[in-house]
């Protein structure tokens, strides 16, 4: 069932989204060669808890950390680890959500660790832009397929691939709500968007093929061909004035 939020609920959601965005920013500021992904996770968890919020991901479906931290060919759901130290040239996807006031926020960003290759930077730039192409279609009267189509067209026109096995989603009182928001599809197809819907748009784009596999830990999702992957996400409200990105940091 798709939940349509009232203005009061949207106002309450702002706080969860603001804290999620700030936590992501804090994570990005901590990224440097030598730091472990566990240390970044600790920074994220402490930040969220200090704001009086709860990390949405901690314990979700048994996930053992507050942030998913996915390095290089890891697409999503990387589990932070003391043993994994970041290196110069890594690309580091951080996905984080916060829960407060009865609502979740959800966002992700792929950061550069030190100096990254031109190819890696191009993938980051294209993935981020594909997210904004998708957001531009998140308008009342459009359909879910318009979003995925815009993301896919942009990414594939640059010879990148769009991951199919994982998609965006509604966000609200639950972290993952209906509808599913694929990053691929046909324009004019799928659920019609109405004001008050809140969705996480989150393209996962690879430099190689779109196939992914989940490792034995049941979380870590990698590109099947070992190619680099990037992931950018915003929580977006559909309003009478057009799409409103809710996960904007204020620190
Ligand atoms: Mg999400």
Q: What is the mean pLDDT of residues 155-160?
A: 98
CATH topology of domain 7-245: Creatine Amidinohydrolase (3.90.230)
pLDDT (0 to 100) of residue 208: 98
Which CA distances in Å does 111 have to 8, 233, 244?
34, 13, 23
Is the peptide bond prior to 171 cis by the omega test (within 30 degrees of 0)?
Answer: no
Phi/psi of residue 139, nearest 5 degrees: -120, 145
**CA distance linking residue 59 with residue 43, whole number of Å:** 17
Copy the structure tokens of residue 87: 């290196």
What is the average pLDDT score of the chain? 98
pLDDT (0 to 100) of residue 134: 98
Distance in Å, CA 234 to ligand 1 centroid: 8
Q: What confidence category does residue 202 fall into, taking pLDDT thresholds of 50, 70 and 90?
A: very high
Distance in Å, CA 115 to ligand 1 centroid: 27
pLDDT (0 to 100) of residue 46: 98
pLDDT (0 to 100) of residue 218: 97
pLDDT (0 to 100) of residue 28: 98
- Ion ligand 1: residues, Cβ under 5 Å: 106, 200, 202
Distance in Å, CA 199 to ligand 1 centroid: 9
Distance in Å, CA 108 to ligand 1 centroid: 8
Bridge partners (DSSP) listed for residue 77: none
Q: What is the mean pLDDT of residues 70-80?
A: 98
Q: What would the pLDDT profile of 96-139 be if each residue is shown by its tens digit?
A: 999 999 999 999 999 999 999 999 999 999 999 999 999 999 99
pLDDT (0 to 100) of residue 8: 96
Counting residues of the chain whose pLDDT is more than 90, the rounded percentage is 100
pLDDT (0 to 100) of residue 130: 98
Q: What would the pLDDT profile of 233-250 be if each residue is shown by its tens digit?
A: 999 999 999 999 999 999
Distance in Å, CA 95 to ligand 1 centroid: 8
- Supply the pTM of this predicted model: 0.98
Q: What is the mean pLDDT of residues 191-211?
A: 98
Which CA distances in Å does 105 have to 18, 45, 51, 204?
8, 14, 14, 18
Q: What confidence category does residue 180 fall into, taking pLDDT thresholds of 50, 70 and 90?
A: very high
Distance in Å, CA 203 to ligand 1 centroid: 10
The domain ranges of the chain are 7-245
């Amino acid at each position: 069932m798709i939940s349509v939020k009232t203005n009061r609920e949207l106002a309450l959601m702002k706080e969860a989204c603001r804290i999620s965005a700030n936590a992501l920013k804090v994570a990005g500021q901590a990224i440097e060669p030598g730091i472990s992904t566990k240390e970044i996770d600790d920074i994220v968890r402490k930040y969220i808890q200090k704001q009086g919020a709860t990390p949405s991901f901690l314990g979700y479906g048994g996930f053992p950390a507050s942030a998913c931290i996915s390095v290089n060919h890891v697409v999503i759901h990387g589990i932070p680890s003391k043993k994994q130290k970041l290196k110069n040239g890594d690309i580091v996807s951080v996905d984080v959500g916060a829960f407060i006031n009865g609502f979740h926020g959800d966002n992700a960003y792929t950061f550069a660790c030190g100096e990254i290759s031109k190819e890696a930077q191009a993938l980051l730039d294209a993935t981020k832009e594909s997210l904004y192409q998708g957001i531009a279609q998140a308008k009342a009267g459009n359909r879910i397929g318009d979003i995925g189509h815009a993301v896919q067209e942009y990414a594939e026109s640059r010879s990148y691939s769009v991951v199919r096995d994982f998609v965006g989603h509604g966000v609200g009182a639950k972290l993952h709500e209906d509808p599913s928001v694929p990053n691929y599809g046909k324009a004019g197809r799928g659920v019609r968007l109405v004001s008050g819907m809140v969705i996480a748009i989150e393209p996962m784009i690879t430099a190689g093929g779109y196939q992914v596999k989940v490792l034995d830990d049941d979380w870590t999702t990698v590109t099947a061909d070992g190619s680099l992957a990037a992931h950018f996400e915003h929580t977006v409200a559909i309003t009478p004035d057009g799409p409103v990105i809710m996960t904007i940091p204020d620190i």
